[in-house]
Chain A
Amino acid sequence: MQTKTQHVNKYYFKTKRMFLGMQGTDGLLFKLLIYGLLIGIGFVYLYPLLYMGVYSFKSLDDLLNPLVNWIPTQFYTGNYEQANKVMDFFSTLMETLYVTVLPALAQTAVAAVVGYGLARFDFKGKKIIFVLVLATFIIPPQVTLIPRYIFFNELNILGSLSAFLLPATFGQGLNSAIFILIFYQFFRAVPKALEEAAQLDGAGHFRIFFTIALPMALPAIIISFLFSFVWYWNETYLAAIYFGDALTTLPLQLQKFVATYQKMFPAEMGVSGGNQLNEGIKMAGTVLSILPLLIVYFITQRWFVEGVDRSGITGE
């Protein structure tokens, strides 16, 4: 009788541990539950990607065939050929890189400088500036959009990269506040003694920043750059308004996908199949528009994950 209650107790505790997330003796049931949950939720996360991938390789016959569900009957790349034509993939990719990499670099550089200033110096009004930096995070871009638009229009930089680059260069880019915070946390951790030693050797503040602080901040630099890159890449709202038709990005091309397709391949009467826009082609377009980001992510995912650790939003 007692062993039975002990048994019950044991399972009781194990189940409890699952919720508590504490380390302990991991029973089989417990492990199964955790892996089951993780794999199940992981599948739900990946489901849209899997779906996209599979559908992008489906030929029209496969799409129409209700028996074909997850595995296409043939390796069909026609969808990609069409999507490539519609999106003009390579030249759009180049343009996308142009309007994402440069602002990301500018944003990172400025965040490093400002973060250093906030972390290593005490000056009047620092607290106010710090609060304002954080406040810029919650101001929706829509509020400043119209004046900026008018302003850029007067400067004649609408439709050019400057509409992204200029705010980024002055620390007002996409989520700049987060990057300043990352650098702030990072530079605060640099020991004061190092700075003092360099000062004794006669180095000025700027020299210390460039030769000592900045090289040490390499992880923060990489993280900031990667996140800015991704966020600028995904920004379609501002891009559509600032760039108009002058510049385009892969996500913007995806947005216009249906319209472009219909312009390029006007539906012909009586011709079935060949020219009709179908799910497969759309999915191929979607895959193309995220493929470069996926590749970047899988190469650098370690940094992305560390980034959140380092961002300082998790500490203090």
Chain B
Amino acid sequence: MKRLRNNRNITGLLFVSPWIIGFLIFTAFPLLYSLFLSFQQVKITTDGIKTKFVKFGNYEYAFTVDGTFLDRVMTYLEEMVISVPIIIVFSLIIALLLNQKVKFRGVFRTIFFLPVIIASGPVIKELIDQGITTIPSIEQYAIYQTLNENPEGFFNGILLYLIKNLIVILWYSGVQILIFLAALQKMDKQIFDAAKIDGASNWEFFWKITLPSLVPMIVVNLIYTIVTYSVFSLNPIIEHIQKNMFKVDTGYGYASALSWIYFLIIAAALAIAVGAMTLKRKKNYT
């Protein structure tokens, strides 16, 4: 019996082995190697790569000399803080709408998911360049003009960013809508009936039952949104990393340091977002 179980263990490992090998070669090793490179000055010579240990030189450079990087990180964080909640709330609203008994639900689902298919950097860039991603003919409205004249100030900046990028932000929500929708459709109808008998209003029902039960999905969507938002090729930080990779004076070492800083920022953002969600959840239940 024991041999049989051992056998099963080995077979299971065998199935997973391609992934383990791949992880070691294509993920774990590169991860460590790029961490190593980030502390080096990398020179490419005809004999191959020459490295020189520079301690935290690359990191210091990123935070002190390279103004562009810090600048772009700040913009990225600002935009993320604005966009991610909007994407989540917006996709939840659409999912709630689609969860109604509407005709042509399939058609609407098809439309809302469409951007996921064409979300490639160059296409979106082309659309942004043409100014198609703003709200149609917004320029004609007074509010836009006033905002455009005073782009200073925190809220004005946010509003302006929203107006200019609304369609792109909405375009990020395709997968999230479907995740929420699937969760809503899996919800037990009996809870609804029971709550109704107990005299819960729909309003209460939403806040006390629907929303709390969606919390895991909100976490999933948060992670998904932050990750896809961060690795999207139009992201200016990524452009910056790529530019430095092929620069002679900075090169691989510095680019590695940048990508590690960026990785840590994303990880921190994820940790904060997920942490905040789960904390709130605990409070709700106790």
Q: Are A151 and B113 in contact, CB atoms less than 8 angstroms apart?
A: no
- From B16, B106, B206, residue with most partner A Cβ within 10 Å: B16
* Complexed CA–CA distance, A119 and B235 (Å): 36
Residues of B within 8 A of A142 (CB): 231, 238, 241, 259, 262-263
Q: Which residues of B (105-133) have their CB < 8 Å from a CB of A?
A: 106, 108-123, 125-127, 130, 132-133
- Given that A44-B170, A172-B23 are known contacts, is A117 also in contact with B102, CB under 8 Å in the complex? no
CB–CB B8/A236 < 8 A: no
Contact of A146 with B255 in the complex, beta carbons under 8 Å: yes
A315 to B217, CA, bound (A): 9
Chain B's nearest CB lies how many Å from the CB of A238? 9
Q: Is the CB–CB distance between B227 and A137 below 8 Å?
A: yes
**CB interface residues, B 197-245, toward A, < 8 Å:** 201-203, 205-206, 210, 217, 220, 223-224, 227, 230-231, 233, 238, 241-242, 245
Q: How far is the CA of A256 from the CA of B30 in the complex (A)?
A: 30
Which 8 pairs across A and B sit closest by C-beta, in order of nearness?
A170-B22, A121-B12, A117-B15, A21-B96, A234-B120, A147-B30, A171-B19, A237-B233
Which of chain B's residues have a CB closer than 8 A to the CB of A166? 26
Q: Is B88 in the interface zone, CB < 8 Å from A?
A: no
A44 & B121 in contact (Cβ 8 Å cutoff): no
- Name the residue of chain A whose CB is nearest to the CB of B44: A150
Cβ B238 vs Cβ A26 within 8 A = no
What is the total number of residues of chain A having a CB less than 8 Å from a CB of chain B? 96
Contact check, A146 vs B34: say whether CB atoms are below 8 A apart.
yes
> Contacts A121-B12, A140-B231 known; A23 to B100 CB distance under 8 Å?
yes
Does B272 reach chain A (CB closer than 8 Å)? no
Contact A169 B19 (CB under 8 A): no
Q: Which residues of A contact B255 (CB under 8 A)?
A: 146
Q: Check if B99 is an interface residue, CB within 8 A of chain A.
A: yes
Q: A142-B262, A180-B19 are in contact. Are A19 and B206 (CB under 8 A)?
A: yes
Nearest neighbor of B221 in chain A, beta-carbon distance: A313
- The residue of chain B having its C-beta at the shortest distance from the C-beta of A302 within the complex is B106
A296 to B179, CA, bound (A): 22
The answer on a CB contact under 8 Å between A147 and B34 is: yes
CB distance B15 to A146 under 8 Å? Answer: no
Interface check B160, CB cutoff 8 A: no
Q: What's the nearest-Cβ distance from chain B to residue A124, in Å?
A: 7
| Residues on A with beta carbons closer than 8 Å to the beta carbon of B30 | 143-144, 146-148, 151
| Complexed CA–CA distance, A19 and B211 (Å) | 12
B26 touches A21 (CB 8 A): no
Q: Which of A24, A301, A314 is most buried by chain B, counting CB atoms within 10 A of its CB?
A: A314
The answer on a CB contact under 8 Å between B16 and A129 is yes
Across the interface, do A123 and B202 meet the contact criterion of CB distance under 8 Å? Answer: no
Partner of B102, one of A34, A148, A230: A34
Segment with Cβ contacts to A, from B62-70, B149-157, B182-190, B276-284: B182-190
Is B158 interfacial (CB 8 A cutoff)? no
Which residues from A are CB-within-8-Å of B18? 110, 113-114, 169-171
- Size bracket, chain B contacts: 35 or more
Contact A172 B49, CB 8 Å, known A16-B201, A129-B16, A151-B30: no
A282 touches B123 (CB 8 A): no
Contacts of B102 in A (CB 8 A): 34-35, 38
Task: Check A140–B266 contact: CB distance below 8 A.
Answer: yes
How far does the alpha carbon of A294 sit from the alpha carbon of B16 in the complex, in Å? Answer: 35
Q: Is the CB of A136 within 8 A of B49?
A: no
Interface pair A45/B112, CB less than 8 Å apart: yes
B76 interface residue (CB < 8 Å to A): no
Q: Is B81 an interface residue (CB 8 A)?
A: no
Apart from the given pairs A21-B210, A142-B241, 14 other A-B contacts in the complex at a CB distance below 8 Å: A22-B202, A110-B19, A113-B18, A124-B9, A139-B263, A140-B231, A142-B259, A180-B19, A234-B119, A254-B126, A255-B125, A286-B127, A298-B110, A305-B110
| Complexed CA–CA distance, A282 and B29 (Å) | 42
State whether the Cβ of B53 lies closer than 8 Å to any Cβ in chain A.
no
A154 to B72: give the CA distance in the assembly, Å. Answer: 33
- Chain A residue contacts of B259, Cβ below 8 A: 140, 142-143, 145-146
